[in-house]
């Protein structure tokens, strides 16, 4: 429905010979279509409760996305933003250690603030966590059942992490555009 409305606006802009606005609207349409098509990931074991967490960062901010998947369906999407210290490199590909620390802190904070029934049996992370065994043990104690923390390398779980990372990147880009506009 939103794409249809944007198409109408784009056509009006073209009729008015406002090609710059038409191009901007066209880009919005393409982004919406891309967002929708990129997020179709199915996992074969849809009985497992899992969370997937990933981040995207620039020199100022890290945007973290946590997807909550229950019975094979995305039931929640949480977003977090962290300031990146100017003294440390941005936590992006190639800086996995810093990124793992950020992801672990977000997970600790998140699971500290939820009921034990909300803790999934599987947590997929984009980067290795510095203390994943300690975190998994703490979560097991809170949940009363085993909790596994994985860094998926291939197939559908890795695709899920890539999708969560793309969402984090979209959010980081959106946030940056808002900051630039406010200046």
| One-letter-per-residue 3-state SS of 35-61 | HHHHCCCCCCCCCCCEEEEEEEECCCE
* Tens-place pLDDT, residues 90-115: 445 545 557 888 899 999 999 999 99
HSE (CB half, 13 Å, CA atoms) of 145? 9
Q: Residues 57, 172: contact at Cβ < 8 Å?
A: yes
d(CA 37, CA 31): 10
Low-confidence ranges of the chain (pLDDT < 50): 38-41, 87, 89-91, 94
**CA dist., res. 142 & res. 1, Å (int):** 43
Q: State the pLDDT at residue 87.
A: 42
Tens digit of each residue's pLDDT (9 = 90 or more) over 135-162: 999 999 999 999 999 999 888 889 999 9
Beta strands in the chain (DSSP E): 50-57, 61-70, 73-83, 122-125, 148-150
Structure tokens at 82: 């962290």
In this predicted structure, what is the pLDDT of residue 183? 63
DSSP tally for the chain: helices H, then strands E: 5, 5
Burial category of 170 from C-beta neighbours within 10 Å (exposed 0-12, middle 13-18, buried 19 and up):
middle
State the pLDDT at residue 143.
93
pLDDT at 39: 44
* Residue where the block lists tokens 């960062």: 57
- Cα(115)–Cα(31) distance, rounded to whole angstroms? 36
Query: Is 0.95 topped by the overall pTM?
Result: no
Phi/psi for 65 (5° steps) reads -120, 135
CA atoms of 43 and 176, how far apart (whole Å):
32
User: CA-CA distances (angstroms) from residue 2 to 7, 12, 13, 16, 33?
Assistant: 9, 15, 16, 21, 10
């Amino acid at each position: 429905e939103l794409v249809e409305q944007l198409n109408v606006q784009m056509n009006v802009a073209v009729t008015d010979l406002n090609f710059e606005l038409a191009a901007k609207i066209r880009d919005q349409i393409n982004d919406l279509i891309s967002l929708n098509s990129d997020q179709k990931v199915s996992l074969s074991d849809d009985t497992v409760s899992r969370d997937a967490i990933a981040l995207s960062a620039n020199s100022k901010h890290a945007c973290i996305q946590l997807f909550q998947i229950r019975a094979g369906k995305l039931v929640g999407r949480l977003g977090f933003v962290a300031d990146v210290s100017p003294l440390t490199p941005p936590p992006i590909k190639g800086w996995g250690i810093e990124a793992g620390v950020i992801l672990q802190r977000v997970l600790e904070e998140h699971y500290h603030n939820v009921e034990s029934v909300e803790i999934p049996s599987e947590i997929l992370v984009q980067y290795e966590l510095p203390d994943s065994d300690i975190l998994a043990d703490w979560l097991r104690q809170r949940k009363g059942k085993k909790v596994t923390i994985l860094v998926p390398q291939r197939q559908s779980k890795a695709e899920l992490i890539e999708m969560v990372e793309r969402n984090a990147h979209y959010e980081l880009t959106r946030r940056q555009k808002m900051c630039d506009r406010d200046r």
